[in-house]
Amino acid sequence: MKKKSLLITLSAGMAFVTLSSNDNGAANNSNGDRTGRIGASVTCASAGCHSGGSGTTTCTIEVRKKSAPTGAIVTDFTPDSVYIVKIKGTNASLSHYGFQVIAVNGSANAGTWQNIPTDAHTGTAGGLTLVEHHHPLPKNGSGNYEIDLEWKASNVSTTTFHAIINGVNNTGSTSGDLSSSPTKVTLQKKTSVENTSLQSQFNVYPNPATNVVNVKIENITPGEAYINVVDLRGKIIASQNVSVSNNSINTTINSARWAAGLYYIHISKNDESKVIAIVKQ
């Protein structure tokens, strides 16, 4: 009986170690990149990480200039400048969280993470650098999951941030934990010279808008453009990647659920950018 009891105790201990092995981050426990960047089957909710699945946990990425940490969310970046990347989410029923975030240009690192807070640390996966939780993190005083990370931009054309939050009950088990969906935000490199052709051919209508906003641009070179709609608080409320066809862009944005007020439409392509204000009735 003593031997059997000892075996049960050892088994329980091994199970706890297995279930809590990602307490200080998946990458630091050889479980790699769980942001969803490399596929929907590789997230905090998939096999080898947490088994609770995805659910009511949310995740957003907000990037601001370090010099204006409470200012407007940026949609582009200047090489060698420093930004604050806020990973933010909610879950009404779970008390703690873990996270991962990565900044890439294609399949390579983009920029560098610096001055990592004590609640987080870096890890590597496939030769790329991630930032993740150092231990299960509690909600803040507002009941949100939130952490600010410092990132220095490099001289690349675009940077895409991929992030995920895993809401956990901090029991040492994966039972009941719920991951957010993978989240990503793409920023374009900014230059001091705007493209005059892009400015003169940029048309947004109707303005004021009701249910739909039309965005039309003529006489631009082939490639991919990025459109973000930002409210007065600097929050991105709509985002599109649009491929140029026949040297033009002609797309629509659903504005039916926007609250009445003033918004800014940011469009960028390569090193060109344009911002135009629009009113929602």
**pLDDT for 281 beyond 50:** yes
- Asked if residue 178 and residue 90 are part of one domain, the reply reads yes
Range(s) of the domain holding residue 131: 21-189
Residue 10 located in a structural domain:
no
- Exposure b/e, 200-227, CB count within 10 A at least 16 = b: ebbebeeeebeeebebebeebeeeebbb
Highest mean pLDDT (candidates 54-63, 164-173, 254-263): 254-263
Q: How many whole angstroms separate alpha carbon 52 and alpha carbon 173? A: 10
In a domain, 9, yes or no: no
Supply the CATH number for residue 252's domain. Answer: 2.60.40.1930
Q: What angle do CA 28, 31, 36 make, to 5 degrees?
A: 110
How many domains does the chain divide into? 2
Asked if the structure places residue 16 within a domain, the reply is no
Residue 3 lies in a domain: no
What is the mean pLDDT of the segment spanning 265-276?
75
Average pLDDT of every residue of the chain: 83
Which among 189, 223, 258 is the end of a domain? 189
Q: What is the CATH number of the domain that holds 139?
A: 2.60.40.4060
Q: Could you read off the pLDDT of 130-141 as tens digits, one per residue? A: 999 999 999 998
Query: Could you tell me which of 29, 15, 32, 14 has the C-alpha nearest to residue 173?
Result: 15
pLDDT digits (tens, 9 = 90+) for 94-129: 999 999 999 999 999 999 999 999 999 999 999 999
Is the pLDDT assigned to residue 182 strictly greater than 90? yes
Per-residue pLDDT band at 271 (split at 50, 70, 90): low
Tell me whether residue 6 is in a domain: no
| Sequence-ordered list of residues with C-beta below 8 angstroms from that of 171, at least 6 positions apart, any chain | none
pLDDT at 196: 39
Indicate if the pLDDT at residue 201 is higher than 80.
no
